[in-house]
Amino acid sequence: MRAGRRTVEIHRPGKVLLPGDGGAGRPQEYTKGDLVDYYRAVAPFMLPHLRGRPLMLERYPDGPDGPRFMQKNTPDHYPEWITRVEVAKEGGTVCHTVCDDQATLLYLVDQAAFTLHRWLSRTTAVDRPDRLVFDLDPPGDDFAPVREAAFLLSELLGELRLPCAPMTTGSRGLHVVVPLNGRQDFDEVREFAHDVAGFLAAAHPGRLTTAARKKDRGGRLYLDVQRNAYAQTAVVPFTVRARPGAPVAAPFAWSQLDDPELHARRWTVADAVEQARTDPWAGIMSRPRALGPARRRLNALRG
């Protein structure tokens, strides 16, 4: 398959990698070829969220019913034209794959790495994130608490004058993403995120919590900020999740939060490209902020 200046070989395109969910109008299954076609179509919208970022690859060579591999190190057999970055870890280094172009994206899909997780920083400054992520993790399958938490969080971030954008995870909850200017390190960013989540949970103690242990949550929605740490990752916008029906982690506009059809797996391979074309995050990611002014506003609210 031609991808830009390169040709990528797709092996066994008819192999079924995802079962269907039996929903009306949706295929009963998705093959590797189907996923390649999807990623080729969504690449113009997805690559801006991938370029220059170390990746962790979630691989399912035999689909979600087979073994899962969480791959950080880039295998030696990957083509030399695929970008790599070596980053520090405790006791050594890791050579991460970086997806800078469509050819790399299709090659990764051929490796059954169809779910991609990215660092919140770039290879040019791996210790300084330019994204902050709040993960809204519901206590059960009811999406109403997620919708409510997203609204409350967006209101608070608005008071702090931080632009933010929502995304379905394709799994259970939502991510709320804040663009940063990359001047703070991970420790500063995570501490700020923790304080924002703590302030919101304290204001709504019956509905929200920052308790990391499930047994301590008491049926409340968990405001998870643990992804905002060095070497942690967050699922990439428009990536496919290993679930029946091929749900996609899809950015959406705040105006869609009230849509009764909205839920964590609202968009799939079948309609995510159409959603991408609406440019739901228009202008938001191009408005990065420093955390200093927001920190002072948060401190004033906390008294």
Which pLDDT tens digit goes with each residue over 276-291? 999 999 999 999 999 9
Under 8 Å between Cβ of 262 and 174: no
Task: Report if residue 287 sits inside a domain.
Answer: no
**Domain span including residue 48:** 2-126
- In the predicted model, residues of the chain with pLDDT beneath 50 are none
Task: Report if residue 237 sits inside a domain.
Answer: no
As for how many domains the chain has, the answer is 1
CATH for 75: 3.90.920.10
**Residues 6 or more apart whose Cβ sits within 8 Å of residue 258:** 147
SS3 235: strand
Task: Report if residue 78 sits inside a domain.
Answer: yes
Under 8 Å between Cβ of 134 and 193: yes
**What is the distance between the alpha carbons of residues 250 and 265, in angstroms, rounded to a whole number?**
9
pTM of the model: 0.94
Task: Report if residue 212 sits inside a domain.
Answer: no
Task: Report if residue 142 sits inside a domain.
Answer: no
Task: Report if residue 299 sits inside a domain.
Answer: no
Task: Report if residue 243 sits inside a domain.
Answer: no
Query: For residue range 227-264, what is the model confidence (pLDDT) as tens digits?
Result: 999 999 999 999 999 998 899 999 999 999 999 999 99
**What is the distance between the alpha carbons of residues 152 and 157, in angstroms, rounded to a whole number?**
9
